[in-house]
Chain A
Amino acid sequence: MILKKSLGIVFLSLILWFALYGFLPALSQWITYDIFRLSAGTRLASAAEFFVYDSAKVLMLLVLIVFGVGILRTFFTPQHTRRILAGKKEFVGNILASLLGVVTPFCTCSAVPLFIGFVTAGVPLGVTLSFLISAPMINEIALVLLFGLFGWKIAFLYLGTGLAIAFAAGWLIGRLHMEKYVEEWVYKSMTGSVEEEKLTWPDRISAGWLSVRDIVGKVWIFVLMGIAVGAFIHGFVPENFLASVMGKKAWWSVPVSVLIGIPLYSNAAGIIPVVQALLEKGAALGTVLAFMMSVIGLSLPETIILRKVLKPRLIAVFLGVVGSGIMLIGFLFNWIL
């Protein structure tokens, strides 16, 4: 009974979602020209239509994806992921860890218990780090925003390059055999085990709604602010303004972007509208991609938290390898595109 009811609600919501999404262009025109009575062709009207359409589209995509990911994540608890990764060979383990990092629920403040839980269960160090790189760097909100604002190509580019960096950096650190640079107490800690609760489909669906409430409830304001800033820059900053500092020819802009990105810590929702504005004003895609990944993936707070379990040398290697990976991606894309 409960199952039928919750599936019914999901089904109805999906129909409503698609109907509304299909009407968005017409709806935003109606709001701009009929409700606010802006006259067509003016700069203000086109900015307003852009804002209404873009924010509605992004928020709707966000709700859909966060709901889907919320359900998906009930299948990938950290315990489950650890069980998959424990005892895996390094190469395959790194690939799996990067992929699982995308779907396993993660928050920066849990990085330390997660690290210890993985390492003590026999997940190799490099594989654990692949997971810890991929989990914050590839973020469903960023993916949705990139998809909504730039289309699927850039969204996939972000997903693919993020996975590649997580895999390669973790694998490389594994090759360097740096286990002795993990704080000794980590290996001595006693790990208990949690009995996993059995989830039914209604439980999973309600977890989906819960994550919509939590995540969308938290980021919608940043999304709207970001799109507003984007709309403003769109209208008032001259075209190609950034071409000389962040364009393809300025090779040094890639490492500088990565360095600037490390201490900057922002959630994906805040950074992507900035990305959009940068790209529009003549910054090169590779440079911008590197900047974004550095801001989201290499964060100072996470590094400080990881210092509890990793010795300075391993921290430095971690930052160095991931940072170089991001830079490489930046150069690569500036070169091929």
Chain B
Amino acid sequence: MKIEILGTGCPKCKQLAANAESAVGDLAIAAEIVKITEIDKIIGYGVMITPALVVDGVVVSAGKLLNKDEIKKILAR
């Protein structure tokens, strides 16, 4: 599984990345977490409001600072 965190480096984006890491740790799944900070890549996903969470190339959330449990729910799908 590939998890991408889209964000230009604001505190919320960093927090989302940290939450995603602990969610992955809790679920004990093999997932690669990548932070995407380049504007054109963010735009390429069609995201206009950061932070956004992308799982396997699909935007699952934008503009929300999800907590660990919310991310776990999304990853379990």
Contacts and interface: CB of A to CB of B under 8 A. Distances in A.
B39 A308 contact: yes
Nearest to A188: B40
Contacts of A110: 48-50, 63
A78 B39 CA distance: 17
A286 B9 CA distance: 37
A185 B38 CA distance: 13
Given A109-B9, A190-B43, A210-B64, 11 more contacts: A78-B49, A79-B48, A105-B63, A109-B8, A110-B49, A112-B39, A114-B49, A189-B44, A194-B45, A214-B65, A308-B39
A113 B50 contact: yes
Interface residues of B, number: 22
B43 A117 contact: yes
What's the dominant secondary structure at chain B's contact region?
Answer: loop
Contacts of B9: 109
Give the bracket for the number of chain A residues in contact with chain B: 20 to 34
What's the dominant secondary structure at chain A's contact region?
Answer: helix
Interface in A167-199: 185, 189-195
Contacts of B50: 107, 109-110, 113
Nearest to B8: A109
Interface of A: 77-79, 82, 105-107, 109-110, 112-114, 116-118, 120, 185, 189-195, 210, 214, 308
Interface of B: 7-10, 12-13, 39-40, 42-50, 59, 62-65
A112 B48 CA distance: 8
B39 A113 contact: yes
Contacts of A189: 39-40, 43-44
A113 B43 contact: yes
A107 B10 CA distance: 10
Nearest to B49: A110
A113 B65 contact: no
Given A107-B12, A116-B39, A78 B63 contact: yes
30 contacts: A78-B48, A78-B49, A79-B46, A105-B63, A109-B8, A109-B50, A110-B49, A110-B50, A110-B63, A112-B8, A113-B42, A113-B49, A114-B48, A117-B43, A117-B46, A118-B48, A189-B40, A189-B43, A189-B44, A191-B43, A191-B44, A191-B46, A192-B44, A192-B45, A192-B47, A193-B46, A194-B46, A194-B47, A194-B62, A195-B59
A182 to B, nearest CB: 14
Contacts of B47: 113, 192, 194
A105 B10 CA distance: 16
Nearest to B60: A197
B42 to A, nearest CB: 5
A162 to B, nearest CB: 21
A114 B42 CA distance: 10
